[in-house]
Amino acid sequence: MTSTLMIVQIILAILITITILLQKSSSIGLGAYSGSNESLFGAKGPSGFLAKATFTLALLFVINTLALGYLYNKESSRSVVDTLPKKEAKAPAPTPAPVPAAPSAPSTEQKQ
């Protein structure tokens, strides 16, 4: 399912690019080449139709992106960390620290 949606995503991206490039801009862009098709879209020319087509394609692109994200997260619920081999950490056995000898009590005998 995700591969089908990925193909649709690529097609939508190409179509959005084409509709944006066909629109008139301040520098006219590629819209100058669609002059013969102006009567097909009405008296205003292709600007109204292309704006609506761009909006529709962009909306479909966003919906398709959300669907791809949802399906991808649903299919891959495992993390990369889950795939790492688990090694049991063998810590060295703690060596007991030498216990210091208790100080002896001072002797009460006096040396003479």
The better pLDDT of the pair 22, 25 is held by: 22
What distance in Å separates the CA atoms of residue 66 and residue 30, rounded to the nearest whole number? 31
Q: pLDDT tier at 32 (50, 70, 90 boundaries)?
A: low
The two tokens of residue 78 are 């495992």
**pLDDT given for residue 37 in this prediction:** 47
pLDDT, averaged across the chain: 76
E strand spans, 12-96: none
Q: pLDDT tier at 38 (50, 70, 90 boundaries)?
A: very low
Interior/surface letters 23-54, b for 16+ CB within 10 angstroms, e for the rest: beeeeeeebeebeeeeeeeeeebbeebbeebb
